[in-house]
Amino acid sequence: MSTQHFTDLNFKKEVLGSDLPVLVDFWAAWCGPCKMVAPLIDELAKEYSGKMKIGKVDVDSNPKVATEYGVMSIPTIIFFKNGKVMNQLVGAARRPELKNKIEENL
């Protein structure tokens, strides 16, 4: 499965209502570190397909969700399980760090 796009409108259903744990990458088109993390997020979405839902929220287009979860700097990656925030990473994380967090939150 490829990376999903979460919005202010579908966030509750797709993330909070998900049966699977969810990784949400809060990003923006103008953010350099976000662009560095993007290919990694796409790879991990394929790798963990069926085990974890992985998607992105464009903070410029979806300010409501970003504000609700206190996203102050991007990229911010938040892990959700059963509708609750389990973990958070701020800044451009590397693959080993991201994989460890994913495994912790499965």
pLDDT of residue 70: 96
Contacts (Cβ under 8 Å, ≥6 apart) of 34: 25, 27, 28, 74, 75, 92
37 CB burial (10 A radius; 0-12, 13-18, 19+)? buried
> Domain range holding 29?
4-105
Q: Write out the two tokens for 67.
A: 């504000």
pLDDT of residue 2: 83
Predicted confidence pLDDT, tens digits, the chain (106 residues): 689 999 999 999 999 999 999 999 999 999 999 999 999 999 999 999 999 999 999 999 999 999 999 999 999 999 999 999 999 999 999 999 999 999 999 9
Work out how many domains the chain is built from and give that number: 1
What are the CA-CA distances from residue 77 to residues 9, 95, 101 (Å)?
A: 19, 13, 10
The one-letter code for the residue type at 29 is A
Catalytic residues: 31, 34
Q: Specify the CATH number for the domain of residue 18.
A: 3.40.30.10
